Amino acid sequence: MDFNYTPSELMAAAGAREIKDREVVAVGLGLPVVASFLAKQTHAPHMTMLFELGVIDSEPVHAGVGLADPRVWYRAKVLSSFVDILGSILHKGRVDVGFLGGLETDQYGNLNTTLVGDPRGEFRHMVGSGGANDIASSAKRNILIMRHDARKLKKTISFVTSPGYVTGGDSRTKAGLSGGPSRVITDKAIFGFHPETKQMMVISIHPGNTIEDVVGTMGFAPVVPQQVPYTEPPEKEQLRLIREVIDPRKMYMG
Amino acid sequence: MEKLTTLTEAVASIPSGSHVALPGFPITRCAMAFAREAIRQGIKGLTLSQCVGAMDGDMLVGAGAVERLIYGGGSLDRFGRLNCVNRGIEDGSLQAEEYSSLSVAFRYLAGSLGLPFMPIRSLQGSDLLRRIQEHTGSDVANITDPFTGENWLVLKPLLPDVSVLVVHTADAEGNAWIMGPRWDNVEQAKASKRTIIIAEHIVSTETIRQQAERTVIPGLLVSHVVELPFAAHPTSVYREYDYDAKEIEKYVKATSTPESFKAYLDEYVYGVKDHWEYLEKVGGMKHLNTLKADPILGY
């Protein structure tokens, strides 16, 4: 087995595989950007990539510091507005996949990007929602990308910025939302959600890890099926694209 | 009435306690010259709104000019967090009402169309909604769709007293062109009672007429027009100039404590007479010229 790739590269490749050709994808910054460009340059050339501020299908030649960097807008097909992207495309129901990162998530895929600590006592305020809550609420499915750490995969998160399956079962539907998270990709494993209870469920573990490595470093117990395969490692061509074309200066992959 | 005026006059038209919609998106097209002048003039008690919190809002909060902030979260991208806004939220000195990008945009959109409220799918099932209900009570509600019987969350319109926009090109009437993405700027201007246009370039109305499809802000919305190059510095203006990484890093470092930010304000805001002295202070034409955008790349 070839271990000659970083966990971030595997996460990006796994994220890319979740996107089908011709899908419309709303993307936050960081690893989701790499995964989306990777999908577009391999098996999904007809996908549409959206950035919330009003950017469709840009083709950056320089890595940017964030969505507010014109480097990220280069060669876009559309430059418009929040109401255009998050309103008439996302809220209208035309986004297939939302791609989100965060500070913390719980077993139902609820995402916190707002604060760490006790919201009624001592806390540190972070970024907040931006378009994350909108994407989590209106995309047909969402993919979450997180570091695998008990401080990030928690039983109870400090703040629900973007809802997943809320309190499990049919609580998301009761809150007036369809869709929901389909995958959580960490640097140790890929998770889905149990069809009825909506608890996080191990789908595959990354080569080099054991199931104990995965479950022992989480703040809650995921559903573990009897047979858990290994995650497919990134292909040579995917690695080449990540390293040479998409993120040569390691702006996104860290 | 002659709209073309100075930044000083335009800022002086805003009474303390006004609701100002700000144009910035983290580190791009922020109303930085406006913020510095508002701080120099001692404007206080502002309500600020913007879909994504940016450097213009953070500076005004850090200078003590803001009582209330209505926003959808924000940062300075990779440069750092909104230290002044975050500190205000953490110590309770800032009344922050935190939404998502689209929910603030829809509140402007409702305002821009003269609608009484706007239904939205976002916020439901989140702590954002719970917090907004606790803090404001009256800005969100639930309603039954009269056609389907479905339950919808609805948002109250935002109706700012004044929208401040940093644009590329405008004429003396305020007919304005914005190149690149416009995020919430058009809905902000249309929802507001009036708009102050700060333009990199002032051109003749004849020039505007030649490519009128570029006009995203009609002059009838505009009360003041100011010609001010590098008005967004140290943030960027697409196709005009890049962000000034060194100066943004300086800002982020300075905002890490109230004391160091006070020293920053003393040097870059109170310590200069106006925008022109500020531009000299950060390196003048020689330095600013290095930030000029490549016409193909746009940065």
Is pLDDT at A1 greater than 50 in this prediction?
no
Name the pLDDT band for B289 (thresholds 50, 70, 90). Answer: very high
Mean pLDDT of A175-187: 97
ipTM of the complex: 0.97
Q: Cβ A137–B238 below 8 Å, yes or no?
A: no
Convert the pLDDT of each residue in B146-175 to its tens digit. 999 999 999 999 999 999 999 999 999 999
Per-residue pLDDT for A2 more than 60?
no
What is the 8-class DSSP label of residue B220? G
Between β-strands B151-155 and B162-170, what pairing exists: parallel, antiparallel or unpaired?
Answer: unpaired
φ and ψ of B229, to 5 deg: -65, 150
Residue A3: pLDDT band with limits 50, 70, 90: low
* Number of Cβ within a 10 Å radius of residue B52: 30
Q: Which of B27, B29, B52 to mutate to test the interface with A (most CBs of A within 10 A)?
A: B52
**What is the predicted pLDDT for the residue at B40?**
98
pLDDT per residue as tens digits for the range A67-117: 999 999 999 999 999 999 999 999 999 999 999 998 999 999 999 999 999
Tokens of A204: 């595959």
Strands B215-217 and B176-177, how do they pair? Answer: antiparallel
Lowest-pLDDT choice from A2-16, A69-83, A131-145, B59-73: A2-16
Task: Among B90, B121, B125, select the one facing A91 at the smallest CB separation.
Answer: B121
pLDDT digits (tens, 9 = 90+) for A192-204: 999 999 999 999 9
Q: Where are the alpha helices (DSSP H) in A6-114?
A: 7-17, 31-41, 82
Running DSSP on this structure, what letter comes out for residue A233?
A: P
Residue type, A207: P
Query: Mapping DSSP to helix (H, G, I), strand (E, B) and coil, where does residue B183 land?
Result: strand
Chain A residue numbers touching B123 (CB-CB < 8 A): 133, 137
CA distance A4 to chain B (A): 28
Quote the CA–CA distance of B24 and B254 in Å, as a whole number: 20
* DSSP H or E run through B207: helix B205-210
Mean pLDDT over residues A174-178, rounded? 96
Kindly state the DSSP code that residue A119 receives in the 8-state scheme: T
* CB atoms B78 and A87 under 8 Å: no
Q: Higher model confidence: residue A252 or residue A174? A: A174
Taking only the tens place, the pLDDT of each residue in B182-237 is 999 999 999 999 999 999 999 999 999 999 999 999 999 999 999 999 999 999 99
Q: What positions of A carry a catalytic annotation?
A: 52
Residue B209 C-beta-side C-alpha neighbours within 13 Å: 5
Average pLDDT for chain A: 95
Contact yes or no for A68 and B27 at CB 8 A: yes
Give A254's pLDDT tier (boundaries 50, 70, 90): low
Which one of A80, A114, A134 has the shortest CB-CB distance to B102? A134
Cross-chain Cβ contact A91/B120 below 8 Å: yes
Using DSSP bridges, classify how beta strands A48-51 and B46-50 pair: parallel, antiparallel or unpaired.
unpaired
Rounded to two decimals, the pTM is 0.97
**Residue A69: what pLDDT?**
97
- A168 vs B29: CA distance, rounded Å: 42
